[in-house]
Structure 1
Amino acid sequence: GVYYLSVTYPELLLEKEKWSGPLEALTAEVATMIQKFGDTVDEDEQINYVFTSVCFVLDAWKKSGAETESAMDELYRKYVKFFLEQTMAKHMTFLYEFVKKNEHKKGSQLKLSSNEMKGLKKYKEGYVEDVKEMFEAIKETVPYYTLEVYKEFVKMVSDYHTKYIQILGGTSFVKELVPVKKVINEATKYSVEFE
């Protein structure tokens, strides 16, 4: 509430210099408090707990019109990455694991196992379903700040798919590649459900 009033009605406060410091301290304290509560949660659920709590606070602040850069945004950026990587590992397993394993290799340095070669073909044929699974997972898991989280997913899948293409560029597997634009278009079409 204090944060909302400070950002929404700054004209009620005498000088910005007098209230901006305490406001930053308040948001830092909220971020610290969420992390401390997270330490008391089952280890397997810590990321989801902290992430959901941060999304709840940011969603409430956004709905009230109080949007400024704060310690909560920093915490969000950290945990949205954890959350999305964890979720991609479950629902876009091939892309996630392939890029993680091979991101520092290119062309001739790349030696693919028979399972990876099968994975290339399976990913090409199934990326649409993988994107849909990610959409469903985000929709089910993130009740607050969902559009912003989904936008981060679109950026992340674009980054991963770009790396995927760079890794395979110049190899005989080029025919198994799906253009980045197709993957982004597929992912973007679901964002309207959160708007």
Structure 2
Amino acid sequence: WTRLERDVVDTLVRSRALTVPANRGLKLVGRPGETAEAFSVRCATAADLAADADVAALKDKYEVKIAKLRTQMEAADDRADVLKEQRDGQRNEEVLSTVGGVLGGIFGGRRSRGGMFGSLGRAAGRRGRTAATDERLDAAENKVNSLSEQIVDLEGELENELTAIDVRWAETAKEIATIDVPLERTDVKVTQLVLGWIPVA
């Protein structure tokens, strides 16, 4: 009987296989008795978890880049504000100095009129400094705009990559096929052997 039992087990192991759903991309295999719908849900859940992990890694990478650009933009913006104040102050000083020099020259007599030309020369120098400040201000404002555009571009890249991750894992979750899993000896258990005798007339 023992040999017969062993032969039955060997025959079943060689000839039978269990067909189960599988998703190679997610490294998932259906469980015995699991319905196709339940396996599909399990694949979708696993894909969501994998997508979440990819998204977290991607966000970390982009947050560092965006934070760096924002810091640079804030510094450039502060610099632009300082230059604006400096330029406005120089313009006020330039106007007051010119007006004061001209009025002093007109109302101050011959001696003052001689100094008027010196005042006008100094005012021209101040105008030159104001123009230089204007150039530095333009450069600072251009830098702010450039950094702002870089941030917008990075955020756009991030959004595109997030969409690509969602699409990729959603497609992976749907890649379900069936595979045949052969029986192992431990899967087969003979519970009863019966000898039947049928008389032949």
Same fold (TM over 0.5): no
Structure having the larger proportion of residues in strand? 2
| Bigger radius of gyration among the two | 2
Using structure 2 for the length normalisation, give the TM-score: 0.22
